[in-house]
Copies of this chain bind each other. A is one copy, B any other.
Amino acid sequence: MTGASSSCGACKFLRRRCTPDCTFTPYFSYEQAASHFSAVHRVFGASNVSKMLLRLPLHSRGDAAAMICYEALARVHDPVYGCIAHIFALQQQVAVLKEEIETIEMQMASARSLDPLAPTQISAHVSVNQTSCPNEMEQNAVQKLLQDIHQDYYLYQPE
């Protein structure tokens, strides 16, 4: 099913005739043409995406198309960081959660060593949903990650 038209979203966007063996038809609906496929075409290029999908076995193409679409939309939304912004945010969230666990462990160890009969001194309240960082910490984390990526891939920093 490709919506109201017999063209898929990709062919509608590319203004070409949609053939029965069109690579995109199963993964891009007619309705997605304006938003999704335009992002995919702008970021990856229709020809590159077609080649990437055709290199994969049929059963993997749906997932690959979804991931490519996600990456493309993320890059249109954030032209510098794209979906890596999501990776940065999650890495920060992991760091904050690990810190929370370490804090509880230290509080528990400290409470036991100072006063083994007073478990109520342990602050048990840990806000699981509190994952935002102060701006400075956030910026430092982003800078550190950027340095790692630059270093990993031996990219030159523009002067």
Contact = CB atoms under 8 A, between A and B. Distances in A.
B158 A58 contact: yes
Interface in A55-113: 55-56, 58-71, 73, 75, 79-84, 86-87, 90-91, 93-94, 97-98, 100-102, 104-105, 108-109, 111-112
A124 B109 contact: yes
Contacts of A81: 63-64, 67
Protomer copies = 2
Contact of A112 (B70, B86, B119): B119
Given A56-B79, A66-B155, A119-B119, A101 B97 contact: yes
B155 A62 contact: yes
B73 A146 contact: no
A54 to B, nearest CB: 11
A124 B111 CA distance: 12
Contacts of A90: 87, 90-91, 93-94
A155 B43 contact: no
Interface size on A, as a range, is: 35 or more
A91 B131 CA distance: 13
A152 to B, nearest CB: 8
A45 to B, nearest CB: 5
Contacts of A80: 56, 60, 63-64, 67
A153 B36 contact: yes
A68 B155 CA distance: 11
